[in-house]
Structure 1
Amino acid sequence: MQDAGALLRIAYEAMKELEIDVLEVLSRCNISEDVLNDKDLRTPNHAQPHFWQVLEDISQDPNIGISLGERMPVFTGQVLQYLFLSSPTFGSGWERATKYIRLISDAASVSISTDANVARLSVNLDGVTEDANRHLNDSLVIGAFKFCQYVTEGEFKATKIAFAHPSPKDITAYSNAFTCPIEFSAADNYIYFDANLLERPSSHAEPELFALHDQLASRKVAKLELQDLVYKVRTVIAQQLESGVVTLESIATELDMKPRMLRAKLAEIDYNFNQILADFRCELSKKLLANTNESIDQIVYLTGFSEPSTFYRAFKRWMQVTPIEYRRSRLASCKTKG
Structure 2
Amino acid sequence: MTFERSSISMHYARTIAAAARRHGLDDQKLLADAGLDPTLVVATRGPRMTSEQFAALLLGYWRCANDEFLGQTRTPGKHGTFALMAKQAVNARNLRGVYRHISRFYDLFTEEFQLTLREEGNEAWFEMTLTHPQLDTDHLFTEFFLLLWHRFPGWLIGRFIPLIRVQVSYPRPAHGREYRLIFPAEVTFDQPRIALVFDRQLLNEPLVQTEDTLRNHLENAPLVWVTRPNFFPHYTRKVTNYLTHCLHTQHTLSQASMETAATELHVTSRTLRRKLTQEKTSFQALKDKVRQDLAIQLLNQPELTISQISQRLGFSDPAAFTRAFKSWLGIPPKEYRKSG
TM-score by length of 2: 0.40
Normalising by the residue count of structure 1, what TM-score does the alignment of the two structures yield? 0.40
Higher fraction of helix: 1
